Amino acid sequence: MLRHLADLRTLGHLGLMLAVFAILWFFGFDSEGSLNFSLCAPLLTLLCLLAIANAVIAHNHNHAPIFRNRSANLVVGCVISFFYGFPSFCWIPTHNQNHHVFNNRPGDHSITTRPRRRVGLLGALLYPTVTSLTQARLIPPFLSRCRRHNRFLFRRALVEYVVFFGFMIVLFFIDWRKALLFAVLPQQIAMFFIQHINYLQHIETDSGSQFGHSRNFTGRFLNLFLFNNGYHTVHHLKPGLHWSLANRAHVRTGAQDPPASPRRQFRHFLASAFRGRRRIAADAASHDTTGRVIARYVAGHRARNGNAGTCLSTARPSPRVSARAWLVGTQIRSMKRRGTGRHSQFSSY
């Protein structure tokens, strides 16, 4: 039923979150209504940390679903949504179909040059809120398209909306203090940090490069905690790749890279970036241009499908459309016509 046995760890993580939340909800306040600080201090801290990792789980679940069964994925998606702080399907229009297409170029609603172009503490603090508000504009038109063309995804969105907001209303009705402290606080921390991580992985990188468009954090503990989310370059190259395979794929991809600057550990990057004393180079660089990447892709596609069967336009991209966006757009159209990529970054369960 599981697609990958490694997701037993994902399910264990969700189970631990449910257990910690239940303990806090039932025992976080004593019978007199006073906060049980000795219990809440460690467990609430643990819940917030687990919620940050759960945001990565929400991301992973929309790229590579946990189960083979759609209904099971929907149930897990509702649990993920509660601890994430918003229906998890929203990753599809805001991340899968936008960020992975434009990849920190104009048109990307999560572009890291908003609100400030230079890396720094102020931009890092403002970015999660600003980009969340900007990405929200993509959800209504996405739902409208799903209602007409993808009934399952539309029903999935409705279920997640009803379950998430219905459960939150019930919690606030039972005890608004517990709901704020044990539900809303971890949710907000999770959403802030997942956007902040995206900021760190893309700010001041070369978005036109094949490999240098993302910054990688290869620390063992960080990737253990964040389900290999630190290997970001390979994630953009292979969005449908399961998170448990990212480490090996990163090594294989790195072997093809030209000489690059030394990798930075997460804490070292933060220390240098937020001092604002220098610009931070991409973690990997490529001597290849995006135009050559496009040329190789078109040539390879023709070799596989023949000139007569190609669905790619070899016309030069419009100056208003980034070359990378054009490349990914042709890949989307190609997959749609060939009926492939069902579990890639461009589809739901």
Q: DSSP for 167-195? A: HHHHHHHH-HHHIIIIIIHHHHHHHHHHH
User: Do 200 and 192 form a contact (C-beta atoms < 8 A)?
Assistant: no
Share of the chain above pLDDT 70, in %: 71
Residue 108's region, left for phi above 0, alpha for psi from -120 to 50, else beta, is beta
- Between helix 185-202 and helix 121-135 the angle, nearest 10°, is 110
Burial class of 260 by CB neighbour count within 10 A (0 to 12, 13 to 18, 19+): middle
**Tokens 């369960």 found at:** 349
The amino acid present at 138, given as its one-letter code, is L
Question: What is the pLDDT, as a whole number, of residue 348?
Answer: 60
- Among 13-17, 160-164, 246-250, 336-340, name the one with the lowest average pLDDT: 336-340
Q: Hey, what are 143's tokens? A: 């739902």
Distance CA 330, CA 324 (A): 10
Q: What is each CA distance from 239 to 31, 195, 243, 245, 293, in whole angstroms?
A: 49, 18, 10, 11, 17
User: Do 227 and 66 form a contact (C-beta atoms < 8 A)?
Assistant: no
Question: What is the pLDDT, as a whole number, of residue 303?
Answer: 54
Distance CA 340, CA 223 (A): 30
- Sequence length of the chain is 349
Dihedral sign (CA 48, 52, 53, 59): positive
Question: What is the pLDDT, as a whole number, of residue 31?
Answer: 86
- Which comes out higher in pLDDT, residue 287 or 63? 63
